[in-house]
Every structure is written in structure tokens, then in C-alpha cells.
Amino acid sequence: MTTLLITHPSFVLHDTGPGHPERPDRMRAIDRAMAHDAFKDLVRRDAPLRDDVEAAIARVHPADYISEIKAARPADGEEAVRLDPDTVLSSGTWDAALRAVGAGMMAVDEVMAGMASNAFCQVRPCGHHAETARAMGFCLFNNVAVAARYAQAKHGAERVAIVDWDVHHGNGTQDIFWRDKSVCFASTHQMPLYPGTGALGETGEGNIWNAPLRPGDGGEQFRQAMESRVLPALRNFAPDLILISAGFDAHEADPLANLRLVEADFAWATTALLEIAARHARGRVVSVLEGGYDLTALARSVAVHVKGLMDA
């Protein structure tokens, strides 16, 4: 089978303004990397605007919250709206946000149906900081959480695992699944750092597994955290599907944090999760882009991650 890459030109139209780290050039940098001959065998699909996307979002976020975001969006030609100092709505954001969610839904459909081995969703805006009823940290809707709920509702997935290796803790995903034993959430992240959550003692109903790293930690500490905490939790959980919140801002070149991962660490983590998926989940993995703000490091890290998916 094949690896599916899902993206769309609309993701560059989510305009966060000058100087914002979560900028359209992130998509262009990944596009250039994915144009290399090494990725010629990828199956490429456009992220859809689905008729059922708002209903899918409503499995995670309240209808009032969705309506508030929709009402706040500026019209074409109007100035962008800031929901907080970091989180921006431009005239192109609503379409991009719906397609970002739709990409995860399409990936789940294809992987659960056996039409693709795995998938990478090259999307923006990011999602993992979006709590049940709060936009924050560049995020509006929690893309990976919606994908998890969609997999359960539409494909009967009984146990969904979400692994988040973004350098910032996925507080939104943790918030959404805090009391839900059908979803295992495991995260490596720098601590202390925004948003301030992700301590070892935050365990939900025994389904939350945080593995915080200290500023300055590198690949050795990251791999140890994965091997001692994240991977055993996944093996015990035996998921039907693994979702990855794939942020690449733990890279040593990233300007927003202080971890020292390199491309080889992301490649290793990809392989480790694929091995668990092969044992428990029929190989089913859906990866959704989160952070990563140094363009060169982002492109190179995505490249090794996607190559790992293709080699599964």
C-alpha cells in the first residue's frame, strides 16, 4: 500500500501577519521538500471542504464556540482579527481551518478503509492547543482530536492513541480527552514552556502520559522519554489507530524553544510508532502537522518523517 499526503493551496491564505512564526512560508518550505524525487511515489490529495466537517468539529467543540469563531472571521479586504496575542483570524483562515480538519478526516477514511497504509496531513492552522471551548497558541480547532472522534464515530475505532512530540505541550488535546479512557494521549515536550501544562502528575483517568523534557535536552533524553514512558503506554493500550501531532519545533534550530533534537530523532520516533501500529493497529497511522518554525529544519524534519512513513 501507499503513503498519502494531504494538503491544499488554501493553507497559505491563512495570513497571520508580518513577523508571526506560524506563517505561510512553512507550507512553501514543505512543498519544496516534497517535490524531491524521493517522494514521487506519494499519493497526493487535496484537503477537502466536506459537508460534514462542522458536524465533525462539533463532536469536540461546542456549537456556540464554532459559531463564535465563524462570526469573528473578517471578510475579504478587512483586517485580521486577533483572538489572543498569538492566534489570528484572517479572511482566508476559516476555509483553511475547515480544510485542516477535513484533511484529518480524509486521512482517517483512507487509512481505516485500507486504501492507504498511513497518511501525513500538511496543514495549518495548527490544532493541539485548541481546548474544548478556547482558541489559543495559533490554534482554532483541534485537528487531531476531531480526527480521533471521527475515527470512533464513523469507523468504529475503539481505542485511539494520540502521540504529540511538538515541543509545546498539547494542552487542548489533553483537555478534550482528560476523562476518556477510549483515547490514550502521550506527549513529549519542553517544560517549563508555553502553555504551562504537561507535568508528570497530569494523568486524567490513567489515559494521559506526559513525558516532559528540560531545556537543553537532546535526542538521548527524548528517546529515553519515549522508551520509558510513551511507548510502553501505547503497547499496553493496544490502539486500533495511532494519530501523531507532528510538531517539529523541538529541533535544535527552532527559535521558539530550547530542545536539541535533530532529523534523526524524528525518523527514529516515526519508526518506533510504526512498529507499534504494525503490531496492534494493522499499521494504521495518521500524522497531522503541528509546529516547526525554522523553515529549513521544518522541511528536513518533515522529509525524514514522511520518508519513514513511506518505508513502513
CB 164 within 8 A of CB 245: yes
**129 catalytic, yes or no?**
yes
Distance of alpha carbon 69 from alpha carbon 306, whole angstroms:
32
In DSSP notation, 137-153 reads: TTBSS-HHHHHHHHHHH
Distance of alpha carbon 125 from alpha carbon 109, whole angstroms:
21
CB 207 within 8 A of CB 180: yes
Count of CB atoms within 10 A of residue 188's CB? Answer: 29
Distance of alpha carbon 236 from alpha carbon 286, whole angstroms:
20
Q: 146 in helix, strand or coil?
A: helix
Distance of alpha carbon 106 from alpha carbon 92, whole angstroms:
21
Q: How far is CA 96 from CA 136, 213, 250, in A?
A: 16, 32, 25
Point out the catalytic residue in the list 14, 61, 128, 129.
129
CB 147 within 8 A of CB 105: yes
Question: How large is the greatest C-alpha to C-alpha distance in the chain, in angstroms?
Answer: 52
Residues composing the chain: 312
Count of CB atoms within 10 A of residue 312's CB? Answer: 17
CB 22 within 8 A of CB 293: yes
Residues identified as active-site: 129
